[in-house]
Amino acid sequence: MLLDLKDIFVSDGACQDVSYTLSLDDVELYGEHPFNSPVEITAHVENKAGMVTLTIDTAFVYHTACDRCLVPIERRFDYHFTHKIIENLEEDFNDDYIEAPDLSLDLDELVSSDIFLELPTKFLCRGDCQGLCQKCGHNLNLGDCGCDKKEIDPRLEALKELLK
């Protein structure tokens, strides 16, 4: 969605509200398509004393597998983002401001970037997830698998032969 900011930049006190949904079902992250339903977006842009501020609220459900036990999980995320928008940057690079040289802003691209940067790097089905057995692959959240958990350092394997 292209957000036209011309009226906002020229009038002190001007504001605009936008609500829409953004489909990210074609996005692939880590070999999965985690966005099965659209992202709900509510944006508010306002000019206060010459400073244009954009606030964005997003809500979506993220589908993935637990990083330890591979059980499918879904999590609802509600994110809030705030950006200061200016017409031209005087410096080459500045993270504090979003540049809108033609007084329009691609809201889809901005929201997508914000969401991808905010997502956790690890997803767990629960905080105390035990994961999978390293030997047989059994989900340890469902109970013990019975495998011998005692591991011998491979560098000391020759000494084991001497004790027999």
Q: Where are the domains of the chain?
A: 2-128, 130-164
What are the pLDDT digits (tens) for 133-150?
A: 988 889 999 998 888 777
pTM for the structure as a whole = 0.80
What are the pLDDT digits (tens) for 19-51?
A: 999 999 999 988 889 999 999 999 999 999 888
| DSSP string for residues in 96-158 | TEEE-TTSEEEHHHHHHHHHHHHS-S---SSTT---B-TTT--BGGG-----------GGGHH
Overall average pLDDT of the 77-98 stretch: 84
